[in-house]
Structure 1
């Protein structure tokens, strides 16, 4: 870990700053400068950058708690920090010199898109990349954006197998892409997830990679199964959102005056039972997620590869945590009544954000189906399981 110190304490220390500019985050549809500065100064967008390049290279369990803490403060902030993890983690496939070129500067932020929305035409020494990618979170803040493209050789896609075109991620720098203002949404409004357009930009081959390329960093963090690990971190954001919704309901229960005759919010047996049940479910889901991620991490730390059953358990814990967090937020929203309709109520924001987060492909039902296949003694269908 770098001299920046403890990232979890740093995340907790940013809470007041993040909360103070909640409305600015909403209105600007991007993170305010004070929050961006806090993330950069504390290295919270470099938790997966190799320590040799000045990154934190933190234990995945620490990263999970950081995303949970940031999610409790503001989901859009957590999302941007989490979104910076993938370009760093997947730099394990890049040559050392290219990785150093991209990640040596500790103040750089990244965005990314794994949607195969571009074309990369084979050229001497690299590729000429063109395309339009949607949902590129943090693109206005980023210095580099890796984007996914289908490889075109001659006039046709280059195939890896019948019906399977070759695809590569290419890191393109600020100034070589155009941002189209498309992010007019409810949840995760502060992430600035606009469209990005690239038009015939040359990218040298060493700044591109395939998910099937060899891993070039022989250290435990970079041996982790990347999709399930990133999914677990995203579930951490959901747990943080649910924690804030719960805490807000508990505070509201002591202050909200009943409009109708009858007991106040805190004195209603139905609310009491709901709070107890939701809290127990959330705590249990969190413990399962931590245990499953820790099991995979312990295996990779020993220099071994995680098993399919370990990954199945991690996927199960991830999707279960997400569903539990979403159900918890819904319960708190309903219990809060009309108060939860107003923007100043943290439950209102939590309700919008949790529904936006859970739309991401890394939290899709299909991963639970794959986990079930493994539990039933079958092989997973997805190559990145």
Structure 2
């Protein structure tokens, strides 16, 4: 397995080195509705797949800037490839950081740290407390990256003597189980408009015993492994950074493609190229500026929170709200940029097989996700306004 030198651009370079392969495999990935073995194998052989992990699990514990730029690069190459990046990499990061020593040894050490993990962290399951662990039942949808994962993450609510456990008033305990693939039943219902190659299968389990050692709390910020600020910030900020970066990467691919197309694109009955039209020039300037502003907002929000945690300060509700709002805003801007590029490209953007056409389908699929919905912005605004003290889901 390739070792990763800890330099500022090393992980981004690993992703960039996959450009030719991802482009060549994109159509086949869509056909089989999950990443091809060639793409997955290269993610491992290059070191990209484990790069976000704690050092103990073969990673380098990158900064938020490194994570964001890597995800932008992956999504720029292909929306499904980028989406798998924000599914598999954070899943193994979380499990490696937050599993107990016993669970880490079983999942990571026993597999020489070669652990591909995907799934749904939202608590759609119930885990009845039994001796040594939980009896898990549940059904999960949109298990991103599960098409090629050896381990599956599944969020659940612990049930003790018929009752949920509560962290505080209105907030139940929420845990995540790490399940070997062979113990999970899959329903191949992934027939969708966009993000076709993400292998985001539905899955479920019935009366499955899960040892406590292979579970961790969803909102924990206390790592067993890893020293980076990200490990002390929990899953929500990492997930939010992923969604923002993914949207920015897909939108950038469309802006780049329509700019390249513009020199040779002539609309019907128009003697001037697209590039020579002032309306196109104004639109390109506006949307590139908006994209850059959104990217800078994302970097500012996440690195500000990261610096606070690195300095030993609390990750306050306001800092968490800032990060989530940045992710929502970047997603909105990215969608606007994508829509403009799609319209500007004319019929070129509707032809199957082009990156423009695929990216447009992908962004209108990925931006439906609840993690970057308007409710997130409302929750954040209520914190800023003092209407609520906190929203743990941020």
Specify the TM-score bucket, using the shorter chain as the normaliser: over 0.9
Structure 2 alignment gaps of length 5 or more: none
Query: For residues 169 and 95 of structure 1, what CA distance do their matches in structure 2 show?
Result: 13
Which residue of 1 is the match for residue 175 of structure 2? 168
Which residue of 2 is the match for residue 157 of structure 1? 163
Match among 248, 267, 270 for residue 261 of structure 1: 270
Change in Cα spacing, 1:362 to 1:212, as seen in structure 2 (3 Å) is closer
Q: Structure 1 residue 131: deviation in Å?
A: 1.9
Structure 1 alignment gaps of length 5 or more: none
Which residue of 2 is the match for residue 357 of structure 1? 366
Name which of structure 1's ranges 269-278 and 161-170 shifts more when overlaid on structure 2: 161-170
Query: For residues 362 and 228 of structure 1, what CA distance do their matches in structure 2 show?
Result: 11
Which residue of 1 is the match for residue 316 of structure 2? 307
- Count of residue correspondences: 383
Which residue of 2 is the match for residue 4 of structure 1? 4
Match among 47, 56, 66 for residue 62 of structure 1: 66
Please identify runs of 4+ aligned residues in structure 1 that moved more than 6 A: none
Match among 211, 235, 259 for residue 250 of structure 1: 259
Which residue of 2 is the match for residue 19 of structure 1? 23
Q: Structure 1 residue 225: deviation in Å?
A: 4.5
Q: Would you say 1:336 and 2:342 are equivalent positions?
A: no
Match among 234, 238, 246 for residue 229 of structure 1: 238
Q: Is the 8 A contact 1:343 1:349 kept in 2?
A: yes
Q: Would you say 1:187 and 2:191 are equivalent positions?
A: no
After superposition, give the CA deviation of every residue in 1:90-121 in whole Å (9 maximum; x if it has no partner). 33332123123323333220012123222222
Query: For residues 52 and 105 of structure 2, what CA distance do their matches in structure 1 show?
Result: 14
Aligned-partner SS, 2:118: coil
Q: Structure 1 residue 363: deviation in Å?
A: 1.1
State how 1:1-385 maps to structure 2 within 5 Å: 3-5=3-5, 6-91=10-95, 92-104=97-109, 105-154=112-161, 156-160=162-166, 165-212=172-219, 215-217=222-224, 219=227, 220-385=229-394
Q: Is the 8 A contact 1:139 1:179 kept in 2?
A: no
TM-score after normalising by structure 1: 0.93
TM-score after normalising by structure 2: 0.91
Query: For residues 117 and 57 of structure 1, what CA distance do their matches in structure 2 show?
Result: 29
Query: For residues 158 and 276 of structure 2, what CA distance do their matches in structure 1 show?
Result: 63
